[in-house]
Copies of this chain bind each other. A is one copy, B any other.
Amino acid sequence: MSAAKKLSIGWIGAGRMGYEMAARLARGGAEVLVWNRTKEKALPLTKYGAEVADEISELAARDIVFCMVSTWKDVKQVVTNLLKGKSKPKMVIECSSISLEGSAELRQILESRKIAYLAAPVSGNAKVIKAGKLTFVCSGPKKAFDLARPYLDLIAVNSSYVGEGELSRIVKICHNVFLGVVTQSLAEITVLAQKAGVPRHAFLAFINQSVMGSTFTRYKAPAFVNLDFKVTFTPQLLRKDMDLGLDAGRRFEVPMPLASATRDLIQSMIGQGWTEQDFATLLLQQAEMSGLKLKSENKEVSDGLS
């Protein structure tokens, strides 16, 4: 990867996802300097050739700085700290799931300092990254995207450029709305098939191999079959994204009947107390509404990733 060697990389955030992304970058041969609030969490990245910074300011001199933290509040704080000194990167690539408004504010901050800014949210979770199946959706100056591309390619299987400004944020919201609808529909048909006599593992094995199967439906199969609802994404976060989607629908005058119906079912799930587990408990609500008590099928089910 000759191109990749030309630019130096700073990486902010070594949480569950940030860690895996930085690891792929380092293993791919990029020169990465990582900073994380809790330095210890970043240290294992050195085995892939990454360096770990004590202070975030050390990253300011890097060509490209990636940011993968939690909330807009975190993003704002780390970027402010990054830019406190005189040095500044050529480009910042922000991958966290932040709002359109936050993203626009960040663009203003960075562009006033003549730093190129790529809004680059992702599709996937930590396991998906590890399996090499993450994808980026990017917006901002096309030049910045082209420049960053070799590094994005080290992390993700694919990167889409969708246009100027914060457009990638809207695309990410649409993606999550789709995820909500697909999960609820899957819950409906899985419960129907089960009540008709088809075990969940057999039903989902077919769906996942069929033309309708996706990486997502495959990695949700263990949850649906064995009722393991360890949180990957909370019901409250999904509701927030559905609401962002419906808000965009209002602004752009797009009726979204399936998104609306799904949103209300997520609210209903929350109202009934399913708040501490993964949003895939939509299956449990669907079963209850169908007069069915679910049990784990205790089957080994592939998630298509590991």
How far is A204 from B147 in the complex, measured between Cα atoms in Å? 23
Taking CB atoms, residues of chain B closer than 8 Å to A256 are: 188-189, 192, 264
Taking CB atoms, residues of chain B closer than 8 Å to A181 are: 181-182, 185, 258
How far is A128 from B211 in the complex, measured between Cα atoms in Å? 8
Answer whether residue A104 sits at the interface, using C-beta atoms and an 8 A cutoff: no
Residue of B nearest to A161 (CB): B202
Q: Which of A24-32, A47-55, A87-95, A246-254 has 4 or more CB atoms under 8 Å from chain B?
A: A246-254
Decide: A209 near B265, CB < 8 A? Known: A170-B198, A184-B258, A186-B178. Answer: no
Chain A residues touching B, range: 35 or more
The answer to whether A291 touches B263, judged by C-beta atoms less than 8 angstroms apart, is no
Taking CB atoms, residues of chain B closer than 8 Å to A214 are: 211-214, 217
Decide: A175 near B205, CB < 8 A? Known: A192-B256, A253-B290, A260-B261. Answer: no
Return the CB mask of A68-87 against B: 1 if under 8 Å, else 0. Answer: 00000000000000000000
How far is A184 from B264 in the complex, measured between Cα atoms in Å? 14
The answer to whether A171 touches B185, judged by C-beta atoms less than 8 angstroms apart, is no
Decide: A202 near B262, CB < 8 A? Known: A253-B195, A254-B191. Answer: no
How far is A254 from B192 in the complex, measured between Cα atoms in Å? 6
The answer to whether A175 touches B271, judged by C-beta atoms less than 8 angstroms apart, is no
Copies of this protein in the assembly total: 4
Which residues from 159 to 187 on chain A have a C-beta closer than 8 Å to any C-beta of chain B? 160-165, 167, 170-171, 174-175, 177-179, 181-182, 184-186
The answer to whether A264 touches B272, judged by C-beta atoms less than 8 angstroms apart, is no
Answer whether residue A124 sits at the interface, using C-beta atoms and an 8 A cutoff: yes
How far is A202 from B260 in the complex, measured between Cα atoms in Å? 25
Taking CB atoms, residues of chain B closer than 8 Å to A189 are: 174-175, 177-178, 245, 256, 259
Q: Which of B175, B206, B211, B219 contacts A171 (CB 8 A)?
A: B206
Answer whether residue A229 sits at the interface, using C-beta atoms and an 8 A cutoff: no
Cβ of A101 to closest chain B Cβ, rounded Å: 14
How far is A171 from B205 in the complex, measured between Cα atoms in Å? 11
The answer to whether B258 touches A261, judged by C-beta atoms less than 8 angstroms apart, is yes
Q: Which of B185, B250, B262, B289 contacts A182 (CB 8 A)?
A: B185
Taking CB atoms, residues of chain B closer than 8 Å to A213 are: 214-215
Residue of B nearest to A267 (CB): B255
How far is A216 from B208 in the complex, measured between Cα atoms in Å? 12
Residue of B nearest to A196 (CB): B170
Residue of B nearest to A214 (CB): B214
A-B contacts besides A123-B211, A192-B245, A192-B248, 13 pairs, CB < 8 Å: A124-B211, A133-B211, A167-B196, A170-B197, A182-B182, A185-B258, A212-B216, A213-B214, A243-B250, A253-B267, A253-B291, A255-B290, A271-B291
Query: Closest 5 CB pairs between A and B?
Result: A123-B210, A160-B206, A268-B289, A255-B264, A174-B189
